[in-house]
Amino acid sequence: MNHQVRDLAESLLRTGLDNLTERDRRTISRIASRAHVAKNVNLTFENQLSFGERLSDRISSFGGSWPFIILFGVALVVWIALNSMVLVNRAFDPYPYILLNLVLSMLAAIQAPVIMMSQNRQAAKDRLAATHDYEVNLKAELEIMGLHDKLDELRQQHIAKFLERQEHQLQLILKLVDAQCGATQRTDERTPPAD
């Protein structure tokens, strides 16, 4: 199998396996064994996530959505209305809303690392997808090069057969011309010269 992969690499890439990256070797190995390279990167990545990673992804996706912004705005308005109008004498957080500022600061302090973790995972997922795309593109390119080689070989065979037929037809034409010339000569020999 390794010999087959080396021959394939040399013929398709015009280089040896020693000059290839590990990813290229894997791809060529899959080509030689006629294995599929395409896979669902999202499914592969999702299967590797822990519970905490899934939770942080859900939190960050909700934290960056319009429902969160609307819900958060409503909660702020209710908080301020409760402490300024409804519970005027018994407000648990009177103006300047120090408790609200503390809650908002804690929320931002917790939400920022969660969002960053999710973004780091998304970047890792993008790198995995880019690697996969490269492997698929490399395999497609190698397959296309192989098809071009096969088409060139078929074209050469077709041209050789065409030339062979043309040579045969030329020989037949020459025989016909020779036969025609021979018949004309015999007719000339039988015809007396005109005086």
**Residue 187 counted as domain residue:** no
**Residue 178 counted as domain residue:** no
Is residue 23 domain-shared with residue 54, that is, in the same domain? no
**Side-chain-facing half-sphere of 161: CA atoms under 13 Å:** 6
Q: How confident is the model at residue 103 (pLDDT cuts 50, 70, 90)?
A: very high
Task: Return the DSSP state at 87.
Answer: T
What pLDDT score was predicted for residue 1?
47
CA distance 115 to 61: 8
- Tell me if residue 7 falls in helix, strand or coil: helix
Is residue 48 domain-shared with residue 20, that is, in the same domain? no
Do 6 and 32 form a contact (C-beta atoms < 8 A)? no
Is residue 29 domain-shared with residue 49, that is, in the same domain? no
Domain that residue 60 falls in = 40-154
Is residue 140 domain-shared with residue 117, that is, in the same domain? yes
Is residue 19 domain-shared with residue 101, that is, in the same domain? no
**Residue 90 counted as domain residue:** yes
**Side-chain-facing half-sphere of 89: CA atoms under 13 Å:** 0
Per-residue pLDDT of 111-125, as tens digits, reads 888 888 888 888 888
pTM attached to this predicted model? 0.54
Is residue 149 domain-shared with residue 66, that is, in the same domain? yes
**Residue 177 counted as domain residue:** no
**Residue 59 counted as domain residue:** yes
Is residue 29 domain-shared with residue 110, that is, in the same domain? no
Domain boundary among 121, 139, 154: 154
Is residue 78 domain-shared with residue 14, that is, in the same domain? no
For range 62-78, the mean pLDDT: 91
**Residue 134 counted as domain residue:** yes
Is residue 98 domain-shared with residue 22, that is, in the same domain? no
Is residue 148 domain-shared with residue 89, that is, in the same domain? yes
Do 91 and 153 form a contact (C-beta atoms < 8 A)? no
What pLDDT score was predicted for residue 117?
86
Is residue 105 domain-shared with residue 60, that is, in the same domain? yes
First CA to last CA distance, the chain: 88
For range 76-95, the mean pLDDT: 86
- Asked if pLDDT for residue 8 goes beyond 70, the answer is no
**Residue 168 counted as domain residue:** no
Is residue 25 domain-shared with residue 60, that is, in the same domain? no
